[in-house]
Amino acid sequence: MFSKRKISIAVATAAASIWQPVFAEDKVSLDGLVVTGTRSETPLLEQAGNTGQVSEEEIDLIRPEHISEVLNRVSGVNIQHGNGQEHLTSIRSPVLTGGAGAGSFLFLEDGIPLRAAGFANVNGLFEVNYEQAGGIEVVRGPGSALYGSNAVHGMVNVLSRAPSLDLERTIDVSVGPHDSYGTKATVSDTVGRHGYRLSVNGETNGGYVSDSGYDQQKVSFRHDYLGDVDSFKTLFSYTNLNQETAGYINGFEAYKDESLSRTNPNPEAYRDAKSYRLSTEWIHELSDTSSFNLTPYVRHTEMQFLMHFLPGQPVENNKHSSVGLLSSYTKELDGGHKIIVGTDFEYTEGELSEIQYNPSRPFGGFIQGTHYDYDVDATVIAPYIHTEWQVLEKTRVTAGLRYEFTKYDYTNNTDTLTFGTRYLRPDSGDDTFNNVSPKLGLVQQLTENTAAFINYARGNRAPQTTDLYRAQIGPSQTGSADSEKMDSFEIGYRKVGEGLQYEITAYQMRKRDYFFTDSDNENVPNGKTKHTGLEIGMFYPLTEQFDVAANLTFAKHEYDFDKASSDIEKGDYLVTAPKQMANVRLGWNFTPKSRAELEWEHVSEYYINDGNTAKYDGHDVFNLRTSHQLTESLRLYGSIQNLFNTEYAERADFNANASNPEGYRYFVGEKRYLHVGASYSF
């Protein structure tokens, strides 16, 4: 029978985290439920593998203007802030770019990919309303059998905020430096069997450097229906971004030069992007122990931007539209066992063009004219099975297998197959890829609140369509992309419940058929890499008012092959792969409904070229934020970012050419600034 308690459980699930901040009035210890691993509520102690979390309460405290402010609180994660809303991602990996950066991470909203697998976007997380989310979960390493392509190094699942039990109306306004203004609003309620939430937000920002800034708008609408046998969750999401983009500044440690740090060498650069998604999840209870799940969805994305990071600075236009269906059957067996079988279907129509309007460059083959113009129709069919077996009273085994068939139907719309010495246009044709991903894990519960786990998983992904049909090549074409594969082994120990909560995980991963472009602009289709690391996450309430949280990462990301022409030797570090990262937070609940937090972000040195001869020295940045409930309806909040005014680079990169012979280039970290706002509920 329907009850409001069913919705309250959903709300708690979306917010749960084993090391989230707890306000002084909250004496309840959450059990640490996660939803991403099995697409259903699962206690952390039963999870074979790891899931980092950022709760709804944390998101409301941070009031993020960029996704890096949220996800860099999770161990093993490094989101580098580009300009405006741009970003590059690292999850148990170096910070990856190009097709690898787009295709190695699966970005989802309520379990549905934000983009089609072969059409991913390195900046993909600006296409979701993380600012008003009900929580974010990060699976580090390959995903479970329930998820396919792009879940190689990890997944980020943004959870929509659940409807409220009673009428909720909130308006939020904020102001920051550089003509930064933001507005958010939400209205939510539950009436009978129906719950809904409408959330909207908009932001305008004049930009930290000259000739930059952005305007963005996001809308999310969720409707829940909870019946005796059938339940439905419908989610509509829309995003729009119009950005004037600042490029890299060139020169060794240029970020320390005040005369350069606020300049924009590419004032013409821009990025315009929009997306929408609509899905309905239908869960039909067949019996007390079995259910059927069907989730049809549609999505559309389109983007135009100036490729300011390339010497020729061409303009890219891309778009794709998809229809998909997630289907599964879940059966609970006697003895605590579970079986989930399902199939994912998706069909996508995509297109891309790249045109250089600037005159031809005298180096590198950057020729004026149409570089690429093509269409791709993609079909993905992926059956899977996920099983859980309670083999002993406190021993649980998880096993799964996923097969994924991918077909690209490619049409070249240009009149030649090659263009200069850099651009290769394959002839029209079909490409198919078949990938099998096995998973096996074991969880041993040691006490009521502790458990150890060991997990093996293989991550696969078909190549990105840009790796196949828009390859940026050098003097010779050395091979085409194939499916990338990575085998991951991890072992860990976790404690949840009252008092000290923590998780320690060690892992090693080996990747093959890694497709990337080396320092000589040559395609490398069959690279091999090795990734070894230790991750520690903890939360400890020092007193009723004070608590401390820490997420620490120690990692080695190495080439596992030799390539003399690029100065790559087996054992060299991959570019942009810090050896240590840390995020440490001291929290103070100075009233029952008010909180302050001091945050320390540490990134160690890392190499920025293949031969490991150029590097960035790393940085330590401190942030201070606070939130105070002034009245029953009015909350005030604020933050000081880069509290000690540190000179640092959000991203260091290397690209030696005629206009930048030293090769060093940077996205500059912003100097100290204050951001304040108020939230009013009525």
Judge whether 340 lies within some domain. Answer: no
CATH of the domain at 430: 2.40.170.20
What is the domain range of residue 244?
4-316+377-681
Flag whether 329 is in a domain: no
* pLDDT tens-digit map of 250-299: 999 999 998 888 888 888 999 999 999 999 999 999 999 999 999 999 99
How many C-beta neighbours within 10 Å does residue 586 have?
16
Mean of the per-residue pLDDT values of the chain: 90
Q: According to the model, what pLDDT value does residue 402 have?
A: 96
pLDDT value at residue 479:
61
Nearest to 382 by CA among 347, 431, 330: 347
Instruction: With a cut of 50, say whether residue 66 has pLDDT above it.
Output: yes
All residues at 6 or more sequence positions from 164 whose CB lies less than 8 Å from its CB, including other chains: 11, 188, 189, 190, 195, 197
Length of the chain: 682
Two tokens, residue 200: 């909207």
Q: Distance (Å, rounded) from C-alpha 630 to C-alpha 52?
A: 32
SS3 469: helix
Tell me which of 142-156, 177-191, 240-254, 299-313 is least confident.
Answer: 142-156
Whether the model clears a pTM of 0.85, i.e. scores above it, the answer is: yes
| Domain assignment present for 195 | yes
* Secondary structure string (H, E, C) spanning 339-384: EEEEEEEEEEEEEEEEEECCCCCCCCCCCCEEEEEEEEEEEEEEEE
Nearest to 52 by CA among 492, 551, 496, 495: 551
Q: Is residue 337 part of a domain?
A: no
On whether residue 339 sits in a domain, the answer given is no
Query: For residues 391 and 363, is the Cβ–Cβ distance under 8 A?
Result: no
Which of helix, strand or coil describes residue 265?
coil
Beta-bridge partner residues of 220: 199, 237
Pair type for strands 105-109 and 154-159? parallel
Within a domain: residue 332? Answer: no
Our count of domains for the chain comes to: 1
Dihedral angle of Cα 657, 660, 662, 666, to the nearest 10 degrees:
-120
Query: Per the domain annotation, does 82 fall within a domain?
Result: yes
Residue 21 lies in a domain: yes
pLDDT at 576 over 90: yes
pLDDT tens-digit series, residues 224-257: 999 999 999 999 999 999 999 998 999 999 999 9
Number of H helices, E strands in the chain: 6, 38
**Confidence check: pLDDT of 475 > 80:** no
